[in-house]
A and B are shown apart, each in its own frame.
Chain A
Amino acid sequence: MLNIELLKKQTIDFGFREKRPNIYKVLVPFFHEDGDMYDIFVEESPVNNNLIRVSDYGLTLMKLSYAFDIDTDNKRTTLESIVAQNRCEIDNGLIYIDVLDTQVQSAVFLLSQVISKVSNMDIISREMVKSMFYDLLQEFVLEMEISFNYKMKKDITPLADSPDLVVDFEIPAKRPIYLFGARDDSKASKIIISCLQFSSNKLPYQSLVIHEDFETLTKFNQKQITNAVDKQYTSLDEFKAKGRDYLARAV
Chain B
Amino acid sequence: MKEIVLIRDTITISGVKFIDSEYLRVAVLPLRNRINLYNMISEELLSEVINTKKTAFKAKYRKLMLGNRHYSNKISLRSDDGKFQYSLVLRKSESFIEDFSVLLIWENANEYSDVNKNIILARYQGPHDGKEPEGVDIHHSYHTHKITSKDIEVKRYLKPSNRKETEAYNSFEQAIQCFITDFGIVGVENTVEPFVDNKQLPERIIIEDISNA
Contacts and interface: CB of A to CB of B under 8 A. Distances in A.
A53 B26 CA distance: 59
Nearest to B206: A18
B103 A66 contact: yes
Contacts of A35: 139, 161, 163
Interface stretch (B89-97, B168-176, B192-200): B89-97
Interface stretch (B46-54, B128-136, B182-190): B128-136
B210 A17 contact: yes
Which interface residue of A37, A67, A224 has the most chain B CB atoms within 10 A? A67
Contact of A61 (B68, B99, B160, B209): B68
Q: Chain A interface residue count: which class?
A: 35 or more
Given A28-B131, A35-B163, A189-B29, A67 B118 contact: yes
Contacts of B181: none
Interface stretch (A7-15, A146-154, A204-212): A7-15
Nearest to B107: A67
A16 interface: yes
Nearest to B119: A67
A32 B158 CA distance: 11
B186 to A, nearest CB: 23
B156 interface: yes
A36 B128 CA distance: 9
A201 interface: no
A169 to B, nearest CB: 23
Contacts of B99: 39, 59, 62
Given A14-B212, A66-B91, A66-B103, A37 B29 contact: no
A189 B30 CA distance: 8
B209 A17 contact: yes
B118 A37 contact: no
Smallest CB-CB A-B distances: 5 pairs: A93-B68, A58-B69, A34-B159, A33-B159, A62-B70
